[in-house]
Every structure is written in structure tokens, then in C-alpha cells.
């Protein structure tokens, strides 16, 4: 029996990359995991299959984020899938997009979409999910180390949206604290995912440069981020809330 046995978790963007790592880790700890996806149903089903192969329980939830009514529609689908009281114990707001463009060329439409998915969707998922979240529950937001450094200025809109998520984390911890619900954010650095594959994998110089940013001399993996999320989801982290946790491998030191 894992430390999350009997718990139900929802991981947005849980079909790939860091989200998949988190979903699989929570599943191994015994949580029933709702694996959310925006468009890639095949990848979400693969994540579910991996969780089930390891002895866990999971199901998929498909809903595009960043569109009107996204949070309400996702929760409706969640309620239908879980049945019963529709209760939730762990919400991981992981889904996000980046817009890598110079400041002078970033368009308004693209800017709005980054904020709609990275900041607005987590806000309303938490707002509408609060009534489903059991007392003593967890909200964990996936931020970025770029909210504390300007090393990648072409990601300015992405970094701004995640900074908004950090403020949301801090303030929401006060709102939900009386119910013993903790709210924290984790901030990865450069992580070896398929999203970063185009510039990171197969390029020794790019890989070496990314690794050199870390005090530990390496590039992060989804599992390393997921381990921190699993800790925050556990009872061991019951006295940690409103916190921004650096999981960049020391890239900000």
C-alpha cells in the first residue's frame, strides 16, 4: 500500500513529459489518477496503461484548456468518471504552454493564450474544484525557475504567466488553509522531455550548456520533479504550504 492509497488525484497535462512522470508517481503511491489531456488521447491512454501495469488505477479526461468554460467542462467530466461523491484529494496544475519569441514580435493572441492556459485555467480549476477537494487535500502548481531569473528572455510571456501562478499559490494557501488544504508550487529547470527534444537531445553542445546551469551538473528528468510533487501530496508535507520549491537542480544558485 502506497502513502496515497485511497486518494484521488487529477493531473492536468498528465499525458506527456513532467505531467506523465507525476501521474505515474502518484499512481505508484496508490492514488487513483485522472490523467488529463488537451488533444493527445493516445498519449494519455499510454500513461494510464503504464500506471495500471504498475498495479495502479487511472483514467483519462480530455478537455482543451484556454477556452471559455474549460474548467467547468473538465470538472463535469471528472464527476461523471469518478461517480459517487466526486471527491478529490490532490489537484496538480501541470498543463502549460510556452511562447518562445522576442519581446518585439510576440503577438497579442499568442500572449493571451499563454496566460489562458498557464494562469487562468489553474485559477478556475482550483476555484471550481475547491468544493470537490476534501479537507486536508493538496493543490500543487507546476511553475518554473524562470520566474526567478532572466536567463531566457525570449520566454518572457511564459515566465510572466508562471509568476502569476506563483502569486496565486501564495494567496490561495491563505484562503484554503482553514480547511488544512495545502497549496504549493514546484519550479523545474531544464527537464529532458519530448517538448525540449528538438533543441536538447542529439546536440552535445546544447546538452552540455543545459547541464552546466545546474549545480548538480545535469539535466533534470520528469521523475525528479515527480518525486517532489509526491512528497507535497503526502502526509509528510502537511505543514508545508504557500511555498515555492526550487527543483532546478541548483540552476539558480
Q: How many CB atoms lie within 10 A of CB 85?
A: 9
User: What are φ and ψ of residue 130, in 5° steps?
Assistant: -60, -35
What the block records as the C-alpha cell of 57 is 488505477
What residues are labeled active site?
158
DSSP string, 26-41: HHHTT-EEEEEESS-H
What's the rounded Cα separation, in Å, for the pair 114 and 46? 26
> What are the cell numbers at 147?
520566474
Q: How many whole angstroms separate alpha carbon 209 and alpha carbon 251?
A: 12
Residue among 159, 154, 160, 157 nearest 188 (CA): 159
* % helix, strand, coil for the chain, step of 5: 50, 20, 35
- 178 secondary structure, DSSP code: G
Which cell goes with 149?
A: 531569473
Query: What's the distance, Cα to Cα, between the start and end of the chain in Å?
Result: 38
Number of residues assigned to the chain? 253
Amino acid at each position: 500500500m502506497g502513502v496515497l492509497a485511497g486518494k484521488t488525484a487529477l493531473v492536468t497535462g498528465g499525458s506527456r513529459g513532467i505531467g506523465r512522470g507525476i501521474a505515474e508517481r502518484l499512481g505508484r503511491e496508490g492514488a487513483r489518477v485522472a490523467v488529463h489531456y488537451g488533444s493527445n488521447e493516445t498519449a494519455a491512454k499510454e500513461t494510464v496503461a503504464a500506471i495500471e501495469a504498475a498495479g495502479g488505477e487511472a483514467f483519462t479526461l480530455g478537455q482543451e484548456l484556454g477556452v471559455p468554460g474549460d474548467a467547468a467542462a473538465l470538472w463535469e467530466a471528472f464527476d461523471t468518471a469518478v461517480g459517487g461523491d466526486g471527491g478529490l484529494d490532490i489537484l496538480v496544475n501541470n498543463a502549460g504552454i510556452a511562447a518562445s519569441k522576442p519581446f518585439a514580435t510576440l503577438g497579442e493572441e499568442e500572449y493571451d493564450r499563454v496566460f489562458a492556459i498557464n494562469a487562468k485555467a489553474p485559477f478556475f480549476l482550483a476555484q471550481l474544484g475547491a468544493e470537490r477537494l476534501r479537507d486536508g487535500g493538496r493543490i500543487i502548481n507546476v511553475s518554473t525557475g524562470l520566474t526567478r531569473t532572466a536567463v531566457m528572455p525570449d520566454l518572457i510571456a511564459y515566465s510572466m504567466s508562471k509568476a502569476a501562478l506563483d502569486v496565486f499559490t501564495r494567496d490561495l494557501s491563505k484562503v484554503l488553509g482553514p480547511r488544512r488544504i495545502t497549496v504549493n508550487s514546484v519550479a523545474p529547470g531544464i527537464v529532458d522531455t519530448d517538448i525540449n527534444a528538438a533543441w536538447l537531445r542529439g546536440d552535445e553542445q546544447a546538452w552540455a550548456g543545459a547541464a552546466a546551469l545546474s549545480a548538480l551538473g545535469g539535466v533534470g528528468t520528469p521523475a525528479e520533479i515527480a518525486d517532489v510533487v509526491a512528497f507535497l501530496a503526502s502526509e509528510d508535507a502537511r505543514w508545508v504550504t504557500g511555498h515555492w520549491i526550487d527543483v532546478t537542480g541548483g540552476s539558480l544558485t
